[in-house]
Structure 1
Amino acid sequence: MSRTAESTIKGFLYQFQKTIKAILESSYDDTITVEGIVEDVDVSHLDGSTTAIQCKYHESVEVFTTSLIYKPLLQMAANYSSNPAAGITYRLFVHVQNQEHIFRSITEAELNSALWSTNVKLQATISQIADDFDKADFLTKLTLEFGESIDDLSLSIKSLLEGIEIQNSDVENILYPNSINHIARLSCGDTPESREINRQEFESFLSTSNSTAISKWTLALKTKRQLLTTKRKQLAQYLSQNSRERCFYLSKEQLVDFNDGIVVFISNFLAKYHTKALHIKTPVFVFDCDLLELNEIQYRLFTKGIKVCAGYIGSKFEVQEFFREPIRTNTRSLVNEREFQIRILSYGEQPEAINYRKCDDLFFVCKNKPEQIDCVDIEVSEIGVPNFSELEYVLSIRNEYE
């Protein structure tokens, strides 16, 4: 990962963690909007007022200068200028190196330096601010907070999570990563209403979380190996059972080595979980691909010696054909004596087929789980790893992923 990409990920993680802290420190009557209408985080209070919070994380900056906050400062000023009577309090949350955790006001001189900036990228925002807006009143509503590092912030959050009364809770491996993953998902909502949450809803979500969230956000944490190992242990109880029908939804967008690794992954999975006589349930692999890509995968599997059922009679797909049981010989019940060993499906071509018959275990390896897939009464696992190496590690197919 490049330094720029790593810095971007950390910036988002910092914002998500600041949101989590705001939720856990809020009143049960408050409503928090992730990626709010005003700023990164909007906290709507029962009295009708709003606290708008914006976060800036500058891990590599050693000394604070006002230019670091020109953009968020001007954005807040523009929002105030458009509606000065809205009852909004603004908090600018900034982290730089070697800066103690303090609160202070923004001076009029600092505000003027931002308003008079010649930076071309800031001119559009500056133009939205009325020349005669009440600077003094705006500054009374604005607070600058020099915040803790991302590591210290995570410790603060874990301490707050420990205070939630959830029986047998595992803060490090379940509550903390699931909190980050939940806020990250909320931030992608299309409307402000879909990005709203309150403390009671957040704690209720955590109380029902019993498995480790694995996504690009949680895997960016320093505890990545620990989280993958915990997920591996959680899945082992289901993978160790022989007679379970397993379905995988695999996304080309999620897995960077999808084209190169898909056939080898299926081969390795079969060698581990579909060789015994007791392995009577045929695994299903669903891809977000078109029919031509599905045919190519089927041919590559054929050349690997893996027999496939794709459900097609000529050019027509028949769901009953897809889910029919393979003919097996009555001698040695090994996988290579079955008529076919796996079922493969293009979700783009046949989105309803996956719902035709419920499996026991459904593994999603994708960024966004399709809402149309029926997950009721199924053991669902979301494994947002970026490559097959880590996927095979989580599924206990291999012992190391590096």
Structure 2
Amino acid sequence: MGRSADYTIQGFLYQFNQTLSEILKASDDAIITIEGIVEDIEVETFSGIKAIQCKYHETQVKYAPSILYDPLLQMMKHFKSNSLANIKYHLFAHFPNTPLVTISSVELKGALNSKDKKLAKLVIEAAGVDIDGFLKVLTVTITPKYTDLMENNIAQLEALGFHKTEVETLFYPNAVQIIADLSIKHDEKLRTITKLDFLDTLRRIRSTAISQWTLALRNRAKIIEARRKQLKECLSSNVRLRHIVIFPRFIDQFDEQIVLFIKSFIDKYHFKISHTQTPLFALDVSHELLDEIAERLIGKDVIPNLGRPVKNFSEAIFFRDPMVLKDKKEFVLRLIRWDDYLGLTPTIKADDLFIIGDGDIQQLDIKDVNLEALSAEKFDEIKYMMGLSNGY
């Protein structure tokens, strides 16, 4: 799948691609309801509860029910603890020589009685599950080869008039993202769309979505390269007020990399006297960690303004311009916690707002602001897309 995406991510991508295929084949005014990825489960990004499982075997010569025991046991285990919840379980599977797979009580009992040592823990945890009840909420879908499905969707977009040179790195990943965004809405009425509205929305998008979904696609490297080119224009301007919001929860090695990332940004985009707009970094961290990061930045001679001379925060101090002594600025960035950033009343909006990581920004007023979302999980990739490094 382009990276070591777990079964949850793969299963969702199958679902999204199949949905995209149905949308592209539909009539313009047909109303398509996007199937929700969950019902009442809160699925955490990258590592959440698995309501969807996927078993993909391009080289499996012969299908046997035991191949599906692992995902079935995981689902039964979850259903056992959530049998009263309105949850639907989906199993996507691909076997080159098997067009149909039927899962009945026979196969489920076979899984529950498995002697495979690797499944021993799951067998114990799923024991006693209501098999008949589980079968009512289980759907098994045999999918075409993933690459065939993806390439067909790309060809369909080209046939609908989307420019061939941009389909793979702009329109196709954004089509997947639109479906993903709709699928997380709990209200079924909000998950409906017509083909015409879908295509109109897609045509208006000019930047590639960077998220857990698009970075799990097979053309990950091309998507990252395209995003780097798209960001180059706004980042090349000397006089731009930039706010960078960072949600660390799903970013690998955040603590080890955050200071180096901020320093790299300052060294690249805010080192000249002509760089008059002081960048603002809002981090979703505790007070203690923010202070620790500030101390480490000072140790790198990257002086932040925390809006407080000692303890109490002051917006006046936070938004004042730095004194410039010869060729050195008093401070080179504003540093604040995300929660405190939400409470600010700045008189001037940012020109560019970068959202790094995965977090809820619905409370932000982004009218007349250039929003750049980079929901990646590795600083190396983020730095490359933002032009702070030449490789990742």
TM tier, smaller: 0.7 to 0.9
Q: Which residue pairs with 1:379 in the alignment? A: 370
**Identity of matched residues, %:** 30
Cα distance in 1 between the residues matched to 2:11 and 2:141:
16
CA distance in 2, matches of 1:129, 1:350: 46
Q: What are the equivalent positions in structure 2 for 1:201-350 lying under 5 Å apart? A: 201-329=197-325, 331=326, 334=327, 337-350=328-341
Contact 1:355 1:374 in 2 (8 A): no
What per-residue deviation string (whole Å, max 9, x for no partner) do you get for residues 54-106 of structure 1?
9854226432245667969x99xxxxxxxxxxxxxxx996421x327x5x696
Letter aligned with residue 63 of structure 1: K
Q: SS where residue 255 of structure 1 aligns? A: coil
Q: Tell me by how many angstroms 1:35 deviates.
A: 2.0
Provide structure 2 residue ranges, at least 5 long, that are not aligned to the other structure: 40-51, 77-89, 113-122
CA distance in 2 between counterparts of 1:4 and 1:208 reads 31
CA shift for structure 1 position 307: 1.3
* Aligned residue number for residue 94 of structure 2: 95
Q: Over residues 344-401 of structure 1, what are the superposed CA-to-partner deviations in whole Å (9 max), with x where a residue is unaligned? A: 1101234222765311111111213411111111111111221221111111111111
Residue pairs, 1:43-54, within 5 angstroms: none
Match of residue 349 from structure 2:
358
Taking a change above 3 Å as real, the CA distance of residues 303 and 290 of structure 1, as seen in their structure-2 partners, is same
8 A Cα contact 2:305 2:334, kept in partner: yes
| Mapping of residues 29-178 of structure 1, within 5 Å | 29-35=30-36, 56-59=54-57, 61-65=60-64, 94-96=93-95, 98-99=96-97, 111=104, 113-114=106-107, 119=112, 121=126, 124-128=129-133, 146-166=142-162, 170-178=166-174
User: CA–CA distance in 1 between the matches of 2:186 and 2:55?
Assistant: 25
> In the alignment, is the contact (CA less than 8 A) between 1:20 and 1:183 conserved in 2?
yes
1-structure distance, mates of 2:217, 2:61: 23
Partner of 2:17: 17
Secondary structure of 1:128's counterpart equals: helix
Match of 1:51 in 2: none
CA distance in 2, matches of 1:274, 1:353: 23
Amino acid at match of 2:264: N
Task: Write the mapping of 1:188-203 to structure 2, written as runs, cut at 5 A.
Answer: 188-203=184-199
C-alpha distance 182-355 of structure 1, shift in aligned 2 (>3 A) = farther
- The one-letter code of the counterpart of 1:224 is R
> What are the ranges of 5 or more consecutive residues in structure 1 without an aligned counterpart?
39-53, 76-90, 134-142
Structure 2 SS opposite 1:158: helix
Offset from partner CA, 1:210-267 (integer Å, 9 cap, x none) = 1111112222222222111111111111111100111111111132121111111111
Alignment TM-score, normalising by the size of structure 2: 0.77
- What is the Cα deviation at residue 112 of structure 1? 6.7
Matching residue of 2:181: 185
Using the TM superposition, name which of 191-200 and 305-314 deviates more. Answer: 191-200
Could you say what secondary structure the match of 1:349 adopts? helix
d(CA) in 1 for partners of 2:141 and 2:34?
20
Which whole-Å CA distance do the structure 2 matches of 1:122 and 1:364 have between them?
44
Contact 1:34–1:196 (Cα < 8 Å) also in 2? no
The answer to whether the 8 Å contact 1:291/1:349 transfers is: no
Secondary structure in structure 1 of the residue aligned to 2:281 = strand
Q: Report the 3-state secondary structure (helix = DSSP H, G, I; strand = E; otherwise coil) of the residue aligned with 1:256.
A: coil
Counterpart CA distance in 2 for 1:256 and 1:127 is: 41
Bigger relative CO (Cα 8 Å, ≥ 6 apart): 2
Structure 2 Cα separation of the partners of residues 319 and 34 of structure 1: 46
**Distance 1:112-1:389 versus aligned 2 partners, 3 A rule:** closer
CA root-mean-square deviation: 3.5
Equivalent residues of 2:243, 2:280 under 8 A apart? yes
**Paired AA for residue 292 in structure 2:** E
**SS of alignment partner, residue 229 of structure 1:** helix
State the distance in 1 between where 2:134 and 2:263 align: 61
> Secondary structure in 1 aligned to 2:339?
coil
Change in 2 beyond 3 A, CA 1:34/1:167? same
Query: Alignment partner of 2:149: what SS?
Result: helix
TM-score normalised per structure 1 = 0.75
Contact 2:307 2:319 (8 Å CA) reproduced: yes
Does the CA-based 8 Å contact 2:7-2:53 persist in structure 1? no
Shift of 1:276: 1.8
Aligned AA for 2:23?
A: I
What secondary structure, in the 3-state scheme, does the structure 2 residue paired with 1:359 have? coil
SS at match of 1:213: coil
The residue matched to 2:324 in structure 1 has which SS?
coil
Of 339-348 and 112-121, deviating more is: 112-121
Per the alignment, do residues 201 and 353 of structure 1 end up closer, same or farther by CA in structure 2, a change over 3 Å counting? same
What secondary structure sits across from 1:317 in the alignment? coil
Residue number in structure 2 paired with 1:391: 382
**In the alignment, is the contact (CA less than 8 A) between 2:9 and 2:213 conserved in 1?**
yes
Q: Name the SS of the counterpart of 1:182 in structure 2.
A: helix
Larger Rg: 1
Paired with 2:237 and 2:131, the residues of 1 have a C-alpha distance of 63
